[in-house]
Amino acid sequence: MTQAEQILKKADRLRRELPRNFRDEMVQSLYDEAERIARRAVQEREGRSYDLDQKIDRIVTSPIFGLPIMLLLLALVIWITVIGANYPSEWLANGLFWFENQAATLFERWGAPWWLTGFLWHGVYRGLAWVVSVMLPPMAIFFPLFTFLEDLGYLPRVAFNMDWLFKKAGAHGKQSLTMAMGFGCNAAGVVATRIIDSPRERLIAILTNNFVPCNGRFPTLIMLGTIFVAANFPPALTSFVAAGSVVAIVMIGVFFTLLISWLLSRTVLKGEASAFTLELPPYRRPNLGRILYTSLIDRTIFVLWRAITTAAPAGAVIWLLANISVGGVSLAQHIAGFLDPLGWLIGLDGVILLAYIIAIPANEIVVPTMLMVYLGTGMMIDLPWDQLGVILVEQHGWTLLTAINLMLFALLHNPCATTILTIYKETGSKKWATFSVVITLGTAFLVTFLTASLARAFGWV
Amino acid sequence: MNDHCATCAAFNQLEQMGLTLDDFDRVVALAGNPNTGKSTLFNALTGLKQHTGNWPGKTVTRAEGGFEFNGVRYKLVDLPGTYSLLSASQDEEVARDFILFGQPDCVIVVTDATALERNLNLVLQVLEITDKVVVAVNMMDEARRKGLDVDPRALARDLGVPAVPISARTGEGLSALLRTMAEVIEGQIRTQPRRVHGTPAFQRAVAELAAEIEAAIPGIPNARWVAIRLLDGDERVRQALLNDEFPQLIARQRQADVRFSNKISLEGRQ
């Protein structure tokens, strides 16, 4: 018998000699002691603001008002972003593309070969310009607002309002917290699942985290809502329609989080939901300096930098695809044509799918990529920012279905490369990492296929 | 025992050293319940920007940073929040393993002055296993706002270790905290931690078993804790003993593995 086995045997013998509930008694006396000490050290004065916290919580976490308040706040934040980001985006785009033309003209005057000018300025630089003008303004508005709510202590209330839904779905109630963190960053949400102690429920939380849009995808969704969905409505309504469509998309994301959690807990990850307590931290006056630091340095610059480092090569790839011709037709058009039937099936088109493939490393750049493919392949010549939606409708057969399905696809499709890597690291399994891609991509194709088929069956498009 | 001189400008003796950890003299751990402001204190002392937020469960891995105080270099380890040393989820295990097997020179238990009773459960559990403890009573400003009078002297008397009122967000009380910490480490303050002992029969059983564990795994810190867990029938601790995992576990705590990095602070977000 090894030394370890001897120790265990002795422990078993000693345990039998002790009273059955010796440890419970120890824990109980510890709690009693804590209570005694705390009572001696803390005196309560007449509290006024203490009650205020509780009063606020009674409203924002009430069964009746909790969810509507949540949705209203979300709508407000997005609406402010939509209103505030539109003009800066246009100015940035005009300025950056003006620079592209100046630089390209200068290169030509210096006698630089056409392919060098094209590759550098109409490829790499244009990729950067698109990402900066499309993503920077919404991020600079959305992130501080989001961080403000986070700092205030509102996000745990969001989780509190929804934990019962997760329990119903056979998942852990704390998944509502990791889901809420996924709104910040899905990779972070996946890491955050460490607070869930049951491995089964933790896996469910990991696999479904990507169904809520992260901070990287919010600008994409906001822009899709603004330029494409709202373009189908009268100008007076655009900002409301845009905000409303993004809120609807978020609700759909939560719905799929719950649905897939439920399906997983009924099939491959069977089991009972475990009990837990969720703690509501006190409200704290947010620190303005820290909000700006976190949202602008940590988040905006971080996300933008990541986008830029993938957009530059993406721009290069697109330019090459558009300028290398086989049989008189550019490679981009060949590929887009090849993908068209699949794209049509799910209410999109070949160009959009090509953009998704190019944007795999960081799929928040998919819309800039898509616009670049339309532009770079000579399919769209000029760039009137305010009429982007109209032009897509007129020149490329875009419909409301295309816009909605694009939003759905952007919401549901596979996690970004960082998140997939994080899932692999957290689960230690290639199988689960692959599975996370399969279920998200599968859901995205299935849902968009269904909406496209339904819309066509009813003759809406 | 110590004078909490909140007004003197001892702060200029603090030098934030960020990631410079090559050559430190002492290791200090920051423990505490979730959302008590450990990361805020960590940032204030090291000058780093570990992501903080009003959110229990922000820190899920161990972050390390450095600072110098009165000429002594300290490595500060920010641990995930935990309610208890008995718990099982992965983030709490990180905290527990480091407190138990990382052999820090001092554990600063950060408590929330507005929820002291719940916080004291962990304090008492930490006191069970180490003498080198300073209790930081954080969020004193918030307690005042909520109409609570917290008396750190009464707390220190009852716990047998120093209790220093601080407000990590505003920097209030940090110099007193550091001075107290240094004095506890160097033995100028002798602590007499309050221990919940249990019955004599239980104590005998723990002592007997702990002696055998120490013989089997030379140099294991906190054999008493292992003994208690075995008496309790903790399956994971049994397995760890059978598979001879303790030496590895102890070695892992000593590695400077999870240093603070922007990547961790963003993705552990955090």
pLDDT tens digits, residue range A11-23?
A: 888 888 888 777 7
In the listed set B179, B194, B209, which residue is the last one of a domain according to the structure? B194
- Examine the pLDDT at A155 and tell me if it is beyond 70: yes
B43: closest chain A residue by CA: A290
Same domain, B55 and B182: yes
Do the chains contact at A194 and B89, CB–CB below 8 Å? yes
Please check whether residues B86 and B170 belong to one and the same domain: yes
Q: Tell me which residue range forms the domain holding A371.
A: 74-271+282-457
CA B140 to chain centre: 19
Domain co-membership, B228 together with B125:
no
**Residue B223 structural domain:** 200-253
Q: Per DSSP, which regions of A57-201 are E strands?
A: none
CA gap A152, B55 in Å, rounded: 9
| Chain B residues within an 8 Å CB radius of A18 | 201-202, 205, 231
- In this structure, the answer to whether residues B67 and B44 fall within a common structural domain is yes
Q: In whole angstroms, what separates CA A268 from the centre of its chain?
A: 25
Residue B258 inside a domain? The answer is no
**Closest alpha carbon to A277 in A190, A160, A198, A178:** A160
Average pLDDT over residues A307-320: 81
Residue B15 lies in a domain: yes
Asked whether residue A142 is assigned to any structural domain, the reply reads yes
CB-nearest to A7 from B90, B147, B212 is B212
For residue B260, being part of any structural domain is answered with no
3-state SS, residue B72: strand
- Cβ of B40 under 8 Å from any chain A Cβ? no
For residue B220, the SS3 value is coil
Handedness of CA A282, A283, A289, A295 (dihedral sign): positive
Say how far apart CA B38 and CA B27 lie, in whole Å.
16
Whether the pLDDT of residue B31 is over 90: the answer is yes
Please tell me whether residues B204 and B136 are part of one structural domain.
no
pLDDT exceeds 50 at position A379: no
Q: Do A181 and A188 contact (CB within 8 A), yes or no?
A: yes
Query: What is the domain count for chain B?
Result: 2
Determine which of A24-33, A135-144, A283-292, B256-265 has the lowest per-residue pLDDT on average: B256-265
Q: What is the pLDDT of residues A16-46, one digit of tens each?
A: 888 877 777 777 888 888 899 999 999 887 6
Are B198 and A156 within 8 A, CB to CB?
no
Look at residue A373 and tell me if it is in a domain.
yes
Q: What does the pLDDT read at residue A408?
A: 93
Are B178 and B221 in the same domain?
no
Q: What is the tally of structural domains in chain A?
A: 1
pLDDT tier for residue A394 given thresholds of 50, 70 and 90: low
Q: Give yes or no for a contact between A248 and B130, defined as CB atoms under 8 angstroms apart.
A: no
Phi-psi label, residue B183: left if phi above 0, alpha if psi -120 to 50, beta otherwise: alpha
Please judge whether A294 and B51 are an interchain contact, meaning their C-beta atoms are less than 8 angstroms apart: yes
Average pLDDT over residues B201-222: 88
Examine the fold and report which residue of B194, B218, B240 is the final residue of a domain before the chain moves on.
B194
Same domain, B156 and B224: no
In a domain, A184, yes or no: yes
Q: Are residues B96 and B65 in the same domain?
A: yes
From B117, B121, B202, residue closest to A22, measured CB to CB: B202
pLDDT digits 0-9 by tens, B40-76: 899 899 887 766 655 555 666 778 888 999 989 999 9
| A10 contacts B212? CB cut-off 8 A | yes
Size of the A and B interface in Cβ pairs below 8 Å: 189
* Secondary structure class of B69 (helix, strand, coil): strand
Q: Considering CB atoms only, which of B89, B209, B268 is closest to A11?
A: B209
Beta strands B148-150 and B133-138, pairing class: unpaired
Q: What is the pLDDT of residue B144?
A: 86
User: What's the confidence (pLDDT) of residue A221?
Assistant: 87
Residue B104, strand partner residues: none
Residue A451 located in a structural domain:
yes
Between A170 and A131, residue with greater pLDDT = A170
Residue A278: pLDDT band with limits 50, 70, 90: low
Q: Which of A20, A23, A19, A4 is nearest to B209 (CA)?
A: A4
Question: Within a domain: residue A155?
Answer: yes
Residue B165 inside a domain? The answer is yes
B53, part of any domain: yes
Rounded to the nearest 5 percent, the helix, strand and coil shares of chain A are 80, 0, 20
Whether B138 and B219 map to the same domain: the answer is no
Among residues B175, B194, B213, which one ends one of the domains? Answer: B194
| B173 vs B6, more confident | B173
Could you tell me what percent of chain B has a pLDDT over 70? 81
CB contact under 8 A, A33 and B124: yes
State the smallest CA–CA distance between residue A253 and chain B in angstroms. Answer: 21
Looking at the structure, tell me whether residues B43 and B177 fall in a common domain.
yes
Q: For the ranges A123-137, A434-448, B95-109, B184-198, which has the lowest average pLDDT?
A: A123-137
Strand ranges inside chain B, DSSP E: 14-18, 26-32, 63-69, 72-78, 106-112, 133-138, 148-150, 163-165
Q: Which string of DSSP letters, residue by residue, matches A150-190?
A: HHHT-HHHHHHHHHHHHHHTTS-TTHHHHHHHHTT-HHHHH
Q: Å from B194 to nearest chain A CA?
A: 10
Instruction: List, for residues A230-273, the tens digit of each pLDDT value.
Output: 777 887 888 888 899 999 999 999 999 999 999 999 988 887 77
Say how far residue A181 (Cα) sits from the centre of its chain: 10
- Tell me: do B89 and B182 sit in the same domain: yes
Q: Are B13 and B69 in contact (CB under 8 A)?
A: yes
* pLDDT for res A205: 94
Shared domain check, B62 and B138: yes
Contact A434, A440 (CB under 8 A): no
Confidence bin at B258 (pLDDT 50/70/90): very low
Q: Which of A195, A215, A421, A426 is best to mutate for the B interface (most B CBs within 10 A)?
A: A195
Query: Does residue A51 lie in a domain region?
Result: no
CATH number at residue B36: 3.40.50.300
Find how far residue A24's CA is from the centre of its chain. Answer: 44
> Confidence class of residue B2 from pLDDT cuts 50, 70 and 90?
very low
Any A CB within 8 A of B19 CB: no
- Please indicate if any CB of chain A lies within 8 Å of the CB of B244: yes
Picking from B57, B116, B121, the nearest residue to A30 by CB comes out as B121
A-proximal residues of B, 210-229, CB under 8 Å: 212-213, 216, 227-228
- On whether residue A49 sits in a domain, the answer given is no
Residue B61's closest CA among B263, B251, B226? B263
Report d(CA A137, CA A95) in Å as an integer. 14
Q: Does B51 touch chain A (CB under 8 A)?
A: yes
CB contacts of A155 in chain B (<8 Å) are 55
* Closest to A123 (Cα-Cα) out of A104, A98, A143: A104
Task: State mean pLDDT over A154-178.
Answer: 85
Question: At residue B235, does pLDDT exceed 60?
Answer: yes
Which tens digits make up the pLDDT trace of B130-169?
Answer: 889 999 999 998 888 888 899 999 999 999 999 999 998 8
Among A360, A364, A353, A127, CA closest to A223: A364
Partners of residue B124 in chain A, C-beta under 8 Å: 30, 33-34
pLDDT of residue B259: 42
ipTM over 0.85: no
Q: Is residue A201 part of a domain?
A: yes
Handedness of CA B68, B74, B79, B81 (dihedral sign): negative
